[in-house]
């Protein structure tokens, strides 16, 4: 019964994160769990993944939460099929017994011997031994303090620093390369080793989570961890891994959005009647206008000018937005991009030749034209020079989109320039990556600009960015 | 529905006798017909059969989505019925169509028959109702893939390929078939499957499928295989290739996939490269040889240049 409760809690947690799991899917998951004949964790995971996770983007979140709730390898399907079994065991207890029990062989080793053991295990690719060594390393170096409501990042840092993964990688690569190996083999082997060391990090992370779950129970750890789906990750405080995940999602999103826009344009049926062709057509039916002919829809293809703040605080957000806009640039008659901190430059050509826009943006953000003085954003100055240099090129079908947090470091706002831009342009939008309740705090003067925008849109994550792009015209 | 009821409901569905046996037997069977599944793939295929739910397979191009459905058909000896989706596909091509030419003929025959007086009812109205009930019978129905799969007396594998190419509105066409395995024909009534078909849908993820469709399916994401599995695939599909060459090819492809390319090499392209090298009689991959054969793997000039630069840098 307790295990069934675990499954219910597991589904509840996934729903809290934002996975859309319907009642029918929940029942499917139960049926799938019962249908899998063998009691092992991998099978359980397959069954749950196939029934609950219907998007590849959500898989990572699923995996982390799965490890929290079913991390103990002894939680098998038999517990789910036997309603009477294990009533006494609260879900943390069994894990605790497992987590604290040190494997006998590794416990007695000195620190140097442990390093050596790990090195040899990785050289041979012995997963069981690696796992044992990592578990031991975590108990020695991480100093997990019971009862502290943390997500474990600090423990991971401590463990990995002590294990010195860089040196480990160097040792592994060196051990791989006897003289007779070709260059090619060596390069490929080095790459494989790097993958192995990355896996080590994942393993340590999982081990620490197992300890945390043993200490506080899966639900509590899930609460502090709160894995975010890629589309919900906040641009401004995403980790490097999350940024990579977002970048991949943006790529896919660009393709999907473009396809949808094309379809939307094609199905646009509200065009005017083409009288001449209707009459011409009717001659075939003896003058009866059986079929009405409409004018071909003439999709409005707006021109877009994207003005992006690329100063360090919001650079990631600017990068994704530029990437997305360029991915769907075929849907607009033209997309021009501008980058600024306290100076402004057009970067349209840099982006069209770049394969990876986010790194291109990072490079651009330190260019002399973009940084005039100190590289702290000065919105007033920038708007003014934009108006002087490119103002005459703004036309009635141009939408101007400004990307930035509106934090002008206490410089003058010169919002009257924005009013002038607004008068020439079709629309002026402002996308702000900060949460709306931080607007106008400190040096943020967003509402001063907001007066002259069609709309100021909070754009903290991919979901919001996507919503904005979809209605853009 | 309480939790207890939900579990009972689930248990009732989980105990059907299975045609595929078990996940292991499924994996074994797929292996025998030349498809190398990992444990997850085999489990999901097995579950799809066991729970009588369609399996939605998503993933990058060239990772063996269609191949999986074909292999399941081959393995279980069931007939494969394939519906290739494209924009503009409609009911008449997916579900069924009335064979109107034949219907016209039937009506004409009825008229001439009356003219020569072959004994059919002299009353015009009566013979019309005969004709009407006649021309809307199964004889005049042209089954298209979905209806064919439902009506088949023996169990079949139904493959709905590239479902993401369907228009959003047409997607709804599939829902009745996928959830209840039945097709409603206004003139005839509802045709229900006697044998639940095994249904596979594939998608290249070019747009989000509707929640309604996803909810009715089990989901299987087919990513690029791990280096070990890919090596195994190479060795089974390019017989005679040396172990070392196979290992190098899979390693090379793996490192190319880690790069930021416009189009990453797929499994089928890996196989192309492996057979190319095998035919060239190469013993091992040198950076020079790899750079020369990159066009087999990569289909964009900018990708080729980028990868070549990277490969020669490693020298």
Output the CA angle A463-A464-A468, nearest 5 degrees: 120
On whether residue A235 sits in a domain, the answer given is no
On whether residue A392 sits in a domain, the answer given is yes
pLDDT band at A473; cut points 50, 70, 90: low
Query: Which residue has tokens 């993401």?
Result: B164
Lowest-pLDDT range of A184-188, A453-457, B151-155, B196-200: A184-188
Buried b (16+ CB within 10 A) or exposed e, A415-439: bebbeebbebbbbbbbbbbbeeeeb
Query: Over pLDDT 70: what percentage of chain A?
Result: 85
Q: A463: domain CATH number? A: 3.40.50.410
Which pLDDT value is given to residue B112? 66
Which one of B11, B12, B14, B250 makes the best mutation probe of the A interface by having the most chain A beta carbons within 10 Å?
A: B14
- Mean pLDDT across the stretch A467-471? 79
- Mean pLDDT across the stretch A69-76? 58
* Residues listed for chain A: 473
CB A47 within 8 A of CB A32: yes
Q: What is the pLDDT of residues B222-261, one digit of tens each?
A: 989 888 889 889 988 888 888 888 888 888 888 888 887 7
- Mean pLDDT across the stretch A394-412? 86
To the nearest whole Å, the CA of A352 is away from the closest chain B CA by 13
To the nearest whole Å, the CA of B134 is away from the closest chain A CA by 31
Residues 70-109 of B with CB under 8 A from A: none
Contact B23 A36 (CB under 8 A): yes
- Mean pLDDT across the stretch B82-109? 87
On whether residue A359 sits in a domain, the answer given is yes
Closest by Cβ to A30, choosing from B7, B167, B223? B7
Contact A191 B217 (CB under 8 A): no
Show residues of chain B in contact with A269, CB under 8 Å: none
- The residues near B121 (Cβ < 8 Å, ≥ 6 apart) are B127, B130
Q: What is the token pair recorded at A456?
A: 């100021």
Q: How far is CA B219 from the centre of its chain?
A: 13
Q: What is the pLDDT of residues A103-133, one digit of tens each?
A: 456 677 788 888 888 888 888 777 778 888 8
Q: What is the pLDDT of residues B125-158, one digit of tens each?
A: 457 777 777 888 888 889 899 999 998 999 899 9
Show residues of chain B in contact with A24, CB under 8 Å: 215
Residues A246, A214, single domain; the answer is no
CB B41 within 8 A of CB B26: no
Q: What is the pLDDT of residues B255-299, one digit of tens each?
A: 888 887 778 889 989 999 999 888 888 877 887 888 888 888 888
* Residues listed for chain B: 315
Which pLDDT value is given to residue B81? 94
* Angle formed by the axes of helices A183-216 and B243-258, nearest 10°: 60
Residues 195-214 of B with CB under 8 A from A: 205-208, 211, 214
pLDDT band at A470; cut points 50, 70, 90: confident
Does A283 score more than 50 pLDDT? Answer: yes
Show residues of chain B in contact with A256, CB under 8 Å: 206-208
DSSP-assigned letters across all residues of A59-104: HHHHHHHHHHHH-STT--HHHHH-TTTTSS--HHHHHHHHHH---H
Residues A138, A217, single domain; the answer is yes
On whether residue A347 sits in a domain, the answer given is yes
Residue of chain A minimizing CA distance to B22: A37
Closest by Cβ to A54, choosing from B214, B255, B287? B214
- For CA atoms A132, A94, A223, A40, the dihedral sign is positive
CB A358 within 8 A of CB A368: no
Distances in Å between the Cα of B138 and the Cα atoms of B131, B132, B133, B194, B275 are 14, 13, 10, 17, 50
Residues A255, A204, single domain; the answer is no
- Within an 8 Å CB–CB cutoff, is residue B306 touching chain A? yes
Cα(A5)–Cα(A356) distance, rounded to whole angstroms?
A: 46
Which pLDDT value is given to residue A300? 64
pLDDT band at A79; cut points 50, 70, 90: very low
Residues A77, A127, single domain; the answer is no
* CA dihedral angle for residue B268, residue B273, residue B275, residue B276, rounded to 10 degrees: 140
Show residues of chain B in contact with A23, CB under 8 Å: 1, 6
Contact B3 A256 (CB under 8 A): no
Could you say which of A57, A89, A121 is where a domain stops?
Answer: A89
- Within an 8 Å CB–CB cutoff, is residue A266 touching chain B? no
pLDDT band at A85; cut points 50, 70, 90: very low
Contact B47 A56 (CB under 8 A): no
CB B230 within 8 A of CB B254: yes
Show residues of chain A in contact with B302, CB under 8 Å: 355
* Closest by Cα among B50, B63, B85, B67 to B198: B50
Residues 72-101 of A with CB under 8 A from B: 83
Highest mean pLDDT among A147-151, A243-247, B58-62, B108-112: B58-62
Domain tally, chain A: 4
Query: Which residue has tokens 């409609």?
Result: B90
Could you say which of A257, A280, A299 is where a domain stops?
Answer: A299
Contact A183 B56 (CB under 8 A): no
Residues 183-212 of A with CB under 8 A from B: 183-185, 187-189, 191-192
On whether residue A99 sits in a domain, the answer given is no
Query: Which residue has tokens 């924005």?
Result: A418
- Identify the DSSP state of B146: H
Show residues of chain A in contact with B221, CB under 8 Å: 56, 59
Could you say which of A56, A89, A122 is where a domain stops?
Answer: A89
- Mean pLDDT across the stretch A37-65? 85
Residues A366, A451, single domain; the answer is yes
Residues A325, A399, single domain; the answer is yes
Query: Which runs of consecutive H residues, i.e. helices, occur in chain B?
Result: 3-14, 23-32, 39-50, 65-76, 91-94, 100-116, 124-135, 145-151, 168-180, 211-215, 227-237, 243-258, 267-280, 287-292, 294-297, 301-313
Highest mean pLDDT among A50-54, A180-184, A435-439, A460-464: A50-54
Residues A278, A360, single domain; the answer is no
* Closest by Cα among A226, A227, A225, A246 to A236: A246
* Closest by Cα among A238, A158, A201 to A460: A238
Residues A33, A115, single domain; the answer is no
- For CA atoms B125, B127, B130, B132, the dihedral sign is negative
Residues 222-281 of B with CB under 8 A from A: 223, 227, 248, 251-252, 254-255, 258, 260, 262
A274 or B315: whose pLDDT is higher? A274
Q: What is the token pair recorded at B242?
A: 């040396």
Show residues of chain A in contact with B43, CB under 8 Å: 36, 43, 46-47, 50
Which pLDDT value is given to residue A64? 85
Which pLDDT value is given to residue A180? 59
Does B41 score more than 90 pLDDT? Answer: yes
To the nearest whole Å, the CA of A383 is away from the closest chain B CA by 35
Residues A250, A362, single domain; the answer is yes
A77: how many CB neighbours lie within 10 A of its CB? 20
DSSP-assigned letters across all residues of B159-199: EEE-GGGS-HHHHHHHHHHHHHSEEEETTTEEEE-SSPPEE
- Mean model confidence pLDDT for chain A: 79
On whether residue A152 sits in a domain, the answer given is yes
On whether residue A40 sits in a domain, the answer given is yes
Residues A293, A309, single domain; the answer is no
- Helix or strand holding residue A452 (H, E): none
Residues A84, A114, single domain; the answer is no
Does B62 score more than 80 pLDDT? Answer: yes
Query: Which runs of consecutive H residues, i.e. helices, occur in A227-347?
Result: 240-266, 275-282, 315-327
Which one of B221, B294, B313 makes the best mutation probe of the A interface by having the most chain A beta carbons within 10 Å?
A: B221
Closest by Cβ to A256, choosing from B207, B215, B286? B207
Contact B47 A23 (CB under 8 A): no
Q: What is the pLDDT of residues B65-80, one digit of tens each?
A: 999 999 999 999 999 9
Query: Over pLDDT 90: what percentage of chain A?
Result: 4
- Mean pLDDT across the stretch A300-311? 82
Cα(A391)–Cα(A338) distance, rounded to whole angstroms?
A: 13
Segments forming the whole domain that contains residue A164: 104-223
- The residues near A433 (Cβ < 8 Å, ≥ 6 apart) are A235, A236, A314, A317, A403, A405, A459, A460
Does B115 score more than 60 pLDDT? Answer: no
Does A86 score more than 50 pLDDT? Answer: no
To the nearest whole Å, the CA of A218 is away from the closest chain B CA by 20
CB A394 within 8 A of CB A400: yes
- Within an 8 Å CB–CB cutoff, is residue A262 touching chain B? no
On whether residue A97 sits in a domain, the answer given is no
To the nearest whole Å, the CA of A173 is away from the closest chain B CA by 14
Does A102 score more than 50 pLDDT? Answer: no
Does B178 score more than 80 pLDDT? Answer: yes
CB A365 within 8 A of CB A312: yes
Residues A180, A257, single domain; the answer is no
Which pLDDT value is given to residue B126? 54
Which one of B18, B20, B23, B243 makes the best mutation probe of the A interface by having the most chain A beta carbons within 10 Å?
A: B23
């Amino acid at each position: 019964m307790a295990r069934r409760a675990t499954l219910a809690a597991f589904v509840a947690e996934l729903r809290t994160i934002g996975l859309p799991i319907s009642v029918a899917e929940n029942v499917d998951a139960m049926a799938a769990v019962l249908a899998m004949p063998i009691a092992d964790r991998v099978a359980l995971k397959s069954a749950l993944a196939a029934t609950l996770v219907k998007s590849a983007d959500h898989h990572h979140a699923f995996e982390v939460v799965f490890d929290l709730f079913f991390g103990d390898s002894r939680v098998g399907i038999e517990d789910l099929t036997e309603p009477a079994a294990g009533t006494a065991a609260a879900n943390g207890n069994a894990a605790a017994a497992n987590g604290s029990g040190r494997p006998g062989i590794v416990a007695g080793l000195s620190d140097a011997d442990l390093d050596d053991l790990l090195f040899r295990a990785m050289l041979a690719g012995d997963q069981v031994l690696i796992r044992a060594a990592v578990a031991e390393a975590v108990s020695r170096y991480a100093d997990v303090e019971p009862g502290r409501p943390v997500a474990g990042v600090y423990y991971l840092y401590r463990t990995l620093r002590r294990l010195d993964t860089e040196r480990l990688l160097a040792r592994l690569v060196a051990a791989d390369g006897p003289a007779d190996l070709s260059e090619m083999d060596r390069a490929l082997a080095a790459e494989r080793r790097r993958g192995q060391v990355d896996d080590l990090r994942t393993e340590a992370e999982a081990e620490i989570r197992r300890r945390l779950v043993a200490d506080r129970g899966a639900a509590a750890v899930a609460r502090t961890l709160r894995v975010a789906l890629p589309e919900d990750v906040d641009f401004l405080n995403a980790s490097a891994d999350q940024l990579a995940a977002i970048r991949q999602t943006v790529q896919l999103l660009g393709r999907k959005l473009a396809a949808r826009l094309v379809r939307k344009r094609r199905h646009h049926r509200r065009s005017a009647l083409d009288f001449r062709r209707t009459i011409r057509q009717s001659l075939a039916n003896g003058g009866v206008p059986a079929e009405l002919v409409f004018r071909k829809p003439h999709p409005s293809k707006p021109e877009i000018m994207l003005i992006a703040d690329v100063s360090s605080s919001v650079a990631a957000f600017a990068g994704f937005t530029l990437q997305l806009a360029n991915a769907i640039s075929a849907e607009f008659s033209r997309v021009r991009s501008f980058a600024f901190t306290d100076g402004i430059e057009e970067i349209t050509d840099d982006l069209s030749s770049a394969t990876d826009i986010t790194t291109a943006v990072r490079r651009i953000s330190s260019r002399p034209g973009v940084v005039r003085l100190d590289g702290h954003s000065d919105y007033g100055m920038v708007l003014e020079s934009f108006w002087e240099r490119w103002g005459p090129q703004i036309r009635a079908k141009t939408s101007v989109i400004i990307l930035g947090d509106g934090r002008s470091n206490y410089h003058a706002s010169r919002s009257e320039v924005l009013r002038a831009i607004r008068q020439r342009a079709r629309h002026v939008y402002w996308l702000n990556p900060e949460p709306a309740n931080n607007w106008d705090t400190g040096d943020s003067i967003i509402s001063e600009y907001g007066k002259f925008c069609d709309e100021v849109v909070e754009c903290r994550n991919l979901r919001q960015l996507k919503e904005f792009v979809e209605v853009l015209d | 529905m309480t939790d207890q009821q939900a579990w009972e409901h689930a248990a009732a569905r989980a105990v059907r006798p299975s045609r595929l046996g078990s996940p292991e037997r499924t994996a074994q069977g797929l292996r025998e017909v030349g498809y190398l599944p990992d444990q997850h793939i085999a489990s999901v295929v097995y579950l799809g059969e066991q729970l009588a739910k369609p399996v939605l397979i998503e993933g990058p191009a060239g990772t063996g989505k269609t191949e999986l459905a074909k292999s399941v058909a081959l393995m279980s000896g069931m007939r494969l019925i394939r519906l290739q989706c494209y924009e503009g596909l409609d009911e008449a091509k997916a579900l069924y169509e009335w064979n109107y030419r034949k219907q016209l003929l039937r009506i004409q025959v009825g008229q001439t028959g009356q003219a020569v007086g072959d004994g059919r009812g002299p009353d015009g109205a009566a013979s019309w109702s005969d004709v009407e009930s006649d021309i809307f019978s199964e004889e005049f129905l042209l089954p298209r893939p979905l209806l064919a799969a439902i009506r088949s007396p023996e169990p079949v594998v139904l493959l709905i390929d590239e479902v993401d190419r369907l228009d959003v509105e047409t997607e709804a066409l599939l829902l009745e078939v996928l959830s209840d395995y039945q097709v409603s024909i206004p003139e005839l009534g509802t045709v229900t499957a006697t044998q639940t078909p095994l249904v596979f849908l594939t998608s290249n993820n070019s747009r989000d499928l509707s929640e309604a469709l996803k909810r009715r399916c089990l989901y299987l994401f087919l990513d690029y295989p791990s280096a070990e599995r890919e090596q195994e695939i190479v060795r089974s599909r390019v017989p005679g290739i040396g172990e070392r060459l196979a290992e190098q090819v899979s390693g090379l492809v793996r490192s190319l996939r880690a790069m930021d390319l416009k189009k990453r090499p797929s499994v089928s392209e890996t196989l192309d490269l492996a057979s190319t090298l095998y035919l060239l009689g190469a013993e091992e991959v040198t950076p020079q040889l790899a750079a020369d054969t990159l066009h087999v793997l990569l289909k964009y000039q900018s990708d080729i240049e980028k990868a070549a630069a990277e490969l020669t840098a490693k020298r």
